[in-house]
Copies of this chain bind each other. A is one copy, B any other.
Amino acid sequence: MRDIDIAEVAELSGVRASTLRFYEEKGLIASHGRRGLRRLFDPAVLDRLALIALGRASGFTLDEIGRMFAPDGRPRIDRKMLATKADELDRTIRRLNAMRDGLRHAAVCPAPSHMECPTFRRLLRVAAAGKMEAPKKTKKSRRKS
């Protein structure tokens, strides 16, 4: 079993065929030939997809991820970039921690209205001051048509 077709890649990776085609178009992955019309991929594409998932999960855009692969296809990951992104994640995490605590408090706060709760108002100030970025909504269960 040298090459696997797009359906198998989709199955094994959990990435939709349409997404795989999209990634190929973007140059993030490459198919290795065809059986009829069907793309054939080297099983190593699975590592590649994992790498892409990692990049995405870490906040890189697809374009940035694309730039992380040398022209020859081998990942050429800049360690400094990783450290930078790790620091960025760290700040994000701190921010979200504050948010979570605030929400948690607001959820049980006995003040008649949130606007009358000092903790809530403090949270508000943090949110307003931070010019913070919303974490993208987690879209669960995007399978089936």
Binding site for B on A (CB under 8 A): 13-14, 46-47, 49-51, 53-54, 56-61, 74-75, 77, 79-80, 82-83, 85-86, 88-93, 95-97, 99-100, 102-104, 106-108, 113-115, 123-125, 127-128, 130-139
Contact = CB atoms under 8 A, between A and B. Distances in A.
B103 A86 contact: yes
A107 B80 contact: yes
A17 to B, nearest CB: 16
Nearest to A81: B107
Nearest to A53: B127
A74 B139 CA distance: 29
Contact of A56 (B13, B51, B132, B139): B132
